[in-house]
Structure 1
Amino acid sequence: MTTAHETRLNITGMGCASCVGRVEAALQGVAGVSEATVNFAAATAQVAYDGPLSDVTQALQAAGYPAAIADVTMKIDQMSCASCVNRVERVLRADPAVIAADVNLATESATIRYVEGATDPASLAKLAGDAGYPAHIAQTDETSADKAHEATALTRTTLIAAALALPVFVLEMGGHMIPAFHHWVHQTIGLQASHLIQFALTSALLVGPGRVFYVKGIPSLLRRAPDMNALVAMGTGAAYLYSVIATFAPGLLPQGSANVYFEAASVIVVLILLGRAMEARAKGRTGAAIRKLVGLQPKTARVEQGNTTVDRPISQINVGDVLQIRPGERVPVDAVVLGGTSYVDESMISGEPVPVGKAPDDQVVGGTVNGTGALRVRAARVGADTVLAQVIRMVEQAQGAKLPIQGLVDKITAWFVPAVLAVALLTIAIWLIFGPAPALPMALVTGVSVLIIACPCAMGLATPTSIMVGTGRAAELGVLFRKGDALQQLQQAKVVALDKTGTLTMGRPELESITTVNGFDRDDVLRQAAAVESRSEHPVATAITRAGPADLPQPTGFTSQTGLGVRAVVEGREVVIGSPRLMDRNGVDLSGLTSEADQRAAAGATPLFVAIDGQAAALLTVSDPVKPGTIEALDRLHAMGLTLAMVTGDNARTAQALADKLGIDHVTAEVLPDGKLQAINTLRDQFGALAFVGDGINDAPALAASDTGVAIGTGTDVAIETADVVLMSGDLRGVANAVEISRRTMRNIRQNLGWAFGYNTLLIPVAAGALYPLGGPLLSPALAAGAMALSSVFVVTNALRLRRVRASLPERDMKHQTQAVAS
């Protein structure tokens, strides 16, 4: 028996030689597999099979030894319209080793997921190249550099084309607009000489600047996969050939129809080249966010070597290297502070405007700016593992994403160009049969106009350009859309559910208030209470100690009574801190403090009593404070028409008190992680699409189960595995910014699609001459070319408006600075 395929797969999960037999058994159990040989040392399997490769990979997955999957981003050249996107995707997806392939016209790139070993990037690039679209592996920030070069080259080409087309246009159209000029041409150089000059200039233009349309368009026609270049080549070619016959063999044409259309072919090429140059310049600006992020990382770092320091390229920095950072310099890599103190501006990573204080054992993030102090740090994460590298990677993935709404565009553009060719041929036939004499020139004009005006460039650019600009602007505001469809899903949310601790609140208790009685001094009471609590590791005790002065006295005789409180002797005085029961056991009269304690407890705080030498001294209240900006953020979300819910494991009394304070509509409290999933499903059934906002660690199940998971202030891992949207700052106002960006971007996409589809729907009949029988004009092919070019430029320019989106809520100085990604 002969087999159709033989491939090598990279196998993961094999831990010992006995795994080889299990993998081979799994492979040989697949229908169609005739031979399977597994190499443990190389972790590969050589498989001969006759059938879909997916059956093989599914069998390996089921056996617990999945085939290695890889992702690659490739630059695809020579794509010009939406139909090119579909063609490249079909070619790539036809490879059985390709799991997914998404092509983006705006970035001129393809994101491909494939079975490692069964194929490789070079083979995938060859597939695209054989289809007429040269490809290579993309490099960081390559698109923007390519676009700048392309825009410069296209501008130069357009100027040459315009110089050749201008005399042609003046000779032909000048006579139509100014009769005296027509007579002057006829009397001086003659009509035939005018046509010969137009022929020479137009030929030079089509062979030179306009050659690109024929080089790309004619092969696509021969492959029976016509694209935009094919439409332009057919339109201008028809006008040119008709004019050549009219110039050199007018007798072959019906009487009265020997007109030349050299100016139409020339102007069409100039206008389309001009449109492409404007597109290239505009699309080059869509990658501004990536360029900013890449520019944040310094090129070198100062590394300690013995008693000296040397400047070393960032690529040569290793984990554990000790670096020196001078005042005003950018932090080269993610690191831990070993010595020195300073304030670091983390705004470009976290969106927070206030510099963050750094001292030994604190973390600093690569790309942030050191303040006035000098720091000595140890490199903790380098290369692709740094926060900045993760951010760049997520923004690139988001910019290359294909939203669900793009599916509609893909389905339409798949048949659009062939349909346009059919409409153009039908238009020519109708004019030849029913048109007034001379019918042939009018049939030519309308047919060429249909071909030119229907180019689907705007359709292909409508969605990806908005995604690129929208996600780039979001990144500048500290919002990362990690998963492509999150950009569309978030704007559909009807309810926003929020975790409490670490999301609405700071996530750690702080001393809220001190109320003294019986003549005790506030500062003295805090100093002695902090000294006692310094011996306890309880979070509430830590909050009291943190609020006290730095120079605390040493307590003696410290004892702790679980669930009641603590006691110790401080500077010769017995200090007792704890609950009313502990005070009652010690005979302490709390009559002057119980009323306030009850009020504080009702508001969600934890009251603690302090007694000194058997006499009531003070009431301390400790609470998890609300994050700065939270109330503003929730008010903004309410103003957006969203329902707000809190889902927390805290007790119901505390949760409800906080909800009343913040104006939250719905509270679900005292739930375990699996209970959060049930609460989310209940909220979704009641209100509709749901976005869950949590810290991305203990809320991972809820983030994964929601329609859109938003991770907020999670630390350097930025919840990569679970969240759809990542907020680099701990400020909840980022949620409002994320919703705003999502809504504005989707509105922009709908505007672009409405323009692109409406443009073609309305103007194709006009180009075909539908208005002519009603007394309307015929659309000139040159005007059709101008309209088509302007349509694409309109779409890209409209998308660029997203760069001006302001934060939903203005960033402002905050008294409490929350740690961002680096904390």
Structure 2
Amino acid sequence: MIGSINTPPSRRPRNRPSDRRQSRKQSKAIPKGLYTRAIKDAFVKLNPKAAIRNPVMFLVWMGTIITLMVTIDPYLFGPVSGQNLQLFNGLITAILFFTVLFANFAEAVAEGRGKAQADALRSTKSETIAKKLAPDGSISEVSSTTLRQGDTVYVSAGDIIPGDGEVTMGVASVDESAITGESAPVLKESGSDVGSSVTGGTRIISDELIIRITSDPGKGFIDRMIALVEGAERSKTPNEIALTVLLAVLSLVFMIVIVTLPAFAYYVNSPISVSVLIALLVALIPTTIGGLLSSIGIAGMDRVAQFNVIATSGRAVEACGDVSTLILDKTGTITLGNRLAEEFLPINGHDIQEMAQVSLWASIFDDTPEGKSIVRLSERLGAFIDFDTNNVEGIQFSARTRMSGTNLPDGREVRKGAVEAIRGFVRSRNGYDSPELDTAYQRVSEQGGTPLAVALDGEVYGVIYLKDIVKPGIRDRFDQLRRMGVRTVMLTGDNRITASVIAREAGVDDFIAEATPEDKIDVIQQEQAQGKLVAMTGDGTNDAPALAQANVGVAMNTGTQAAKEAANMVDLDSDPTKLIDIVGIGKQLLITRGALTTFSIANDIAKYFAIIPVLFTSANLQGLNIMRLTSTNTAVLSALIYNALIIPVLIPLALKGVKFRPLTANQLLQRNILIYGLGGIIAPFLAIKVIDIIITAIGFF
């Protein structure tokens, strides 16, 4: 059984565009029973303990209770004049109640999407039988709930992976559709920094693996996903808190204004009842954005989830909207990432067969796609292994040495790696630094390829040309980011010439060549020291410190456990370029919040000038009634009805978000004022007049 673990890896299946489109379509579908659940939750949120979290709507809720009291007893707060007082007060109470209910419904719909996704994830969790490996190699069947961090399990085709872990032996295809929504299987193999992490609840569909468990029961990736997408403990973001405080202050200002009105009304002999004062207060305070604010934030996280990205908090999504610098790896993000050996360039009098032989020896322990492509090219050129691989020592690549290779049985040392690293290796063996090496290095670099030098002891045999291709359309995406004021920085371990060619072709603003893991942290800290918010992607253990340092760190789902724990977002599709989409979603969240805030405040201004004059018509000030509303009662009811109905009307916009356009902050402000500011002033005048006509036609007042 264990011997068959060494099955050669098959070609990695690729997610087809049609699969991704289908996945996205499914994620955007309205969950069954969403609105029914949202209506129930809207009533649950009437609990004062829940309602007080939103100061604006809590004020409306308190006003509803007071108007209910004066509906029961119109003279509770003193004598009032007028006809049909109980009917009028009852209508105000009903409208205020529905205003609170609509606001709760907006939040419940947004939360319902997350809960539906959590339910789907929860359905993938089940107690399974795990094949636990003992130190002596024996296997015992145990419940997956008894597995602890550090345990080792064996899984074969058809088995459910019992817990999160790292592959320590074997190569196999794994179905992760339960988590990612993608139907194409993913290759998992030992020894890979980005393809060895597995998730509990996924299914192995071919071959077999030995896995070391990395999480205790209840603390796995799916458990954390459920908690996050469900949003039960969602905390408000700093911007959301600041806006909530602003809305509370505005409400307080309007309350002070309302409190002063009875004195003015008494002076002009036009008394105002308590119910009218409360109705006027509710009509003037920013109830529209107050009712939609929470749903906008929740919907922002949901939009990120629709892109198969799990965010640890709304703070992370919001931070994406303020990102000013993007740190991007070259390989797999800007380029296609499948760097393959394209050509051997022998030097120092060696022929191509000799170089192929040495390249093969240097790559027999290199399990990366690059290493395997070098082996294939070498064997195609007639190279072969004429020694027992069990008697040789493999030297693994490290970010510090920047080379790998093999120590042969006869004591000779074969190395391949970055040109400067190999040059140093050769010098340490008293070798000769040939000018031909620089010529070959220059040739490969100027083509945008990655040059790898190959040496045997103190002699360089040649340069391997690793070819990579810039992703189509990536330049246009960077242009969009630039128009939004986002600076892009490419990090690569390649030499400066290669990096400059790729950077110029891709259109990034800056690049750092021959970068080490420490360089990533240094760049992030330098940008943050200038007051900028930084985002980056990563997948390896060496990326974890930089992901933790960045304001927005996006880890790949195929990455290591350390990377996923350090980041504040996890991309289930493991697509590094998705960071660009996430920045767009974050900015869309801020744009939506700004647009609806502008609309809400403009609404309040319009309602103020529409209603206040009507209150004093009994004092022979009819000239102030520019809208020619029928009476104080119809004006107040019309304003309240509009105030209540505008919330459900705007729910789709709050959930979908204002359409994102790559504009600067000043351009966005001008656009918001022109569309949502002007629209927020015009809409209430038209709607209140129409509703006033309808109420008058009914004949209640």
Q: Give your verdict on TM over 0.5.
A: yes
Q: Is the 8 A contact 1:647 1:667 kept in 2?
A: yes
Q: Indicate conservation of the 8 Å contact 1:452/1:781, yes or no.
A: no
Mind listing any 5+ residue stretches in structure 2 that lack a counterpart? 1-31, 133-137, 396-400, 662-701
Aligned pair partner of 1:511 in 333, 341, 344: 341
Summarize deviations over 1:573-615 as a string: whole Å, max 9, x none: xx99999999xx999x999x9987752243342256899xxxx
CA distance change for structure 1 residues 559 and 487 in 2, over 3 Å: closer, same or farther? closer
Q: 1:266 and 1:360, CA in 2 relative to 1: closer, same or farther beyond 3 A?
A: same
The answer to whether structure 1 residue 264 and structure 2 residue 264 are counterparts is no
> What is the rounded CA distance, in whole Å, between the counterparts of 1:689 and 1:657 in structure 2?
27
Moved more, 736-745 or 468-477: 468-477
Alpha carbons of structure 1 residues 638 and 689: separation in structure 2 relative to 1, 3 Å: farther
The aligned residue for residue 695 of structure 2 is: none
Cα gap change, 1:412/1:699 in structure 2, threshold over 3 Å: closer, same or farther?
same
Alignment-derived partner of residue 715 in structure 1: 559
Alignment partner of 1:410 is 2:244: yes
CA distance in 2, matches of 1:378, 1:538: 20
1:230 and 1:505 map into 2 onto residues whose CA distance is 58
Please say if 1:797 is aligned against 2:652: yes
Query: Structure 1 residues 795 and 596, CA, compared in 2 at 3 Å: closer, same or farther?
Result: same
One of 386, 407, 430 as aligned partner of 1:555: 386
1:230 aligns with 2:62: yes
Query: What is the match of residue 283 of structure 2?
Result: 453
Aligned residue in 2 for 1:426: 260
- Whichever residue aligns with residue 654 of structure 2, its letter is A
Aligned residue identity for 1:233: I
Provide the identity percentage: 20
Give the direction of change, closer, same or farther, for the CA distance of 1:699–1:459 in structure 2 (3 Å limit): same
Match for residue 757 of structure 1 among 578, 582, 601: 601
Alpha-carbon distance in 1 for matches of 2:367, 2:106: 57
**How far apart in 2 are the matches of 1:342 and 1:800?**
40
Q: Which amino acid letter does the alignment assign opposite residue 174 of structure 2?
A: V
Moved more, 658-667 or 646-655: 646-655
Long gaps (5+) in structure 1: 1-143, 158-211, 246-251, 570-574, 807-823
Match of 1:151 in 2: 39
Give CA-to-partner distance per residue, 1:38-96, whole Å, 9 cap, x none.
xxxxxxxxxxxxxxxxxxxxxxxxxxxxxxxxxxxxxxxxxxxxxxxxxxxxxxxxxxx
Residue of structure 1 equivalent to 2:584: 740
- Is the contact between residue 676 and residue 702 of structure 1 (CA under 8 Å) also seen in structure 2? yes
Measured against aligned partners, the alpha-carbon deviations of 1:298-339 in whole angstroms (never above 9, x if no partner) come to 342431579999895x65555547576775x86553246699
Deviation at 1:747, TM superposition (A): 1.0
1:302 partnered with 2:147? no
1: CA distance, partners of 2:406 / 2:253: 83
1:477 positional shift: 1.5
Q: Which amino acid aligns with 2:299?
A: V
Rounded to whole Å, the distance in 2 between the matches of 1:620 and 1:717 is 35
Alignment CA distance shift 1:402-1:795 (3 Å): farther
3-state SS of 1:785 partner? helix
Structure with larger RCO (C-alpha < 8 A, sep 6+)? 2
Q: Which residue, 461, 464, 480 being the options, matches 1:621?
A: 464
Q: Distance in 2 between matches of 1:460 and 1:330?
A: 46
* Residue 161 (structure 1) aligns with: none
Q: Shift of residue 792 of structure 1?
A: 3.4
User: Structure 1 residues 499 and 566, CA, compared in 2 at 3 Å: closer, same or farther?
Assistant: closer
Matched-pair contact (CA < 8 Å) for 1:431–1:443: no
After superposition, give the CA deviation of every residue in 1:538-563 in whole Å (9 maximum; x if it has no partner): 98766523666799954149999999
Aligned-residue RMSD, C-alpha: 5.7
Residue 711 and residue 341 in structure 1: after superposition, are their counterparts in 2 closer, same or farther (change >3 A)?
Answer: closer
CA contact (8 A) 1:608 1:619 kept: yes
Deviation at 1:799, TM superposition (A): 2.0
Q: What is the rounded CA distance, in whole Å, between the counterparts of 2:647 and 2:507 in structure 1?
A: 46
Q: Helix, strand or coil for the counterpart of 1:268?
A: helix
Q: Aligned pairs, how many?
A: 571
Task: Give the conservation status (yes or no) of the 8 Å contact 1:487–1:742.
Answer: yes
Contact 2:591 2:658 in 1 (8 A): no
Residues 170-569 of structure 1: pairs in structure 2 closer than 5 A: 227-238=59-70, 240-242=72-74, 257-287=81-111, 288-297=113-122, 298-303=124-129, 315=145, 318=148, 320=151, 322=153, 327=158, 331-335=161-165, 343-346=173-176, 349=179, 354-358=184-188, 362-368=196-202, 370-371=204-205, 379-395=213-229, 400-416=234-250, 418-435=252-269, 439-440=270-271, 443=273, 446-454=276-284, 457-482=287-312, 484-500=314-330, 504=334, 510-513=340-343, 532-533=361-362, 544-545=374-375, 554-556=385-387
CA 1:454–1:334: 2 relative to 1, 3 Å? same
Cα deviation for residue 231 of structure 1 reads: 1.4
Distance in 2, matches of 1:722 and 1:565, equals: 31
Whether the aligned pair in 1 keeps the contact of 2:359 and 2:375 (CA below 8 Å) is yes
1:788 aligns with 2:676: no
Q: Which secondary structure state, in structure 2, belongs to the residue aligned with residue 405 of structure 1?
A: helix
Supply the AA of the counterpart residue of 2:361: V
Q: Which moved more, 1:228-237 or 1:668-677?
A: 668-677
Q: Determine if contact 1:530/1:547 at 8 Å carries over to the other structure.
A: no
CA distance in 2 between counterparts of 1:258 and 1:534 reads: 94
Distance 2:566 2:332 in 1: 17
* Whole-Å separation in 2 of the counterparts to 1:707 and 1:596: 41
Distance apart, 1:286 and its partner CA: 1.6
Q: 1-side partners of 2:567 and 2:249: how far apart?
A: 37
* CA drift at 1:367: 4.1
Pairwise CA distance, 1:742:
0.6
The verdict on how the C-alpha distance between 1:668 and 1:805 changes in structure 2, with shifts beyond 3 A counting, is: closer
Tell me the amino acid that sits aligned with residue 291 of structure 1.
A
CA distance in 1, matches of 2:586, 2:494: 31
More helix by share: 2
Task: Answer whether contact 2:155 2:161 (CA < 8 A) is retained.
Answer: no
Give me the whole-angstrom Cα distance separating, in 2, the residues matched to 1:681 and 1:281.
42
Separation in structure 2 between the aligned mates of residue 417 and residue 683 of structure 1, nearest angstrom: 39
Greater C-alpha radius of gyration = 1
Q: Secondary structure at the match of 2:583?
A: helix
Contact 2:117 2:229 in 1 (8 A): no
Distance 1:526 1:264 in 2: 94
Q: State the alpha-carbon separation in 1 of the partners of residues 474 and 266 from structure 2.
A: 66
Paired residue type of 1:555: D
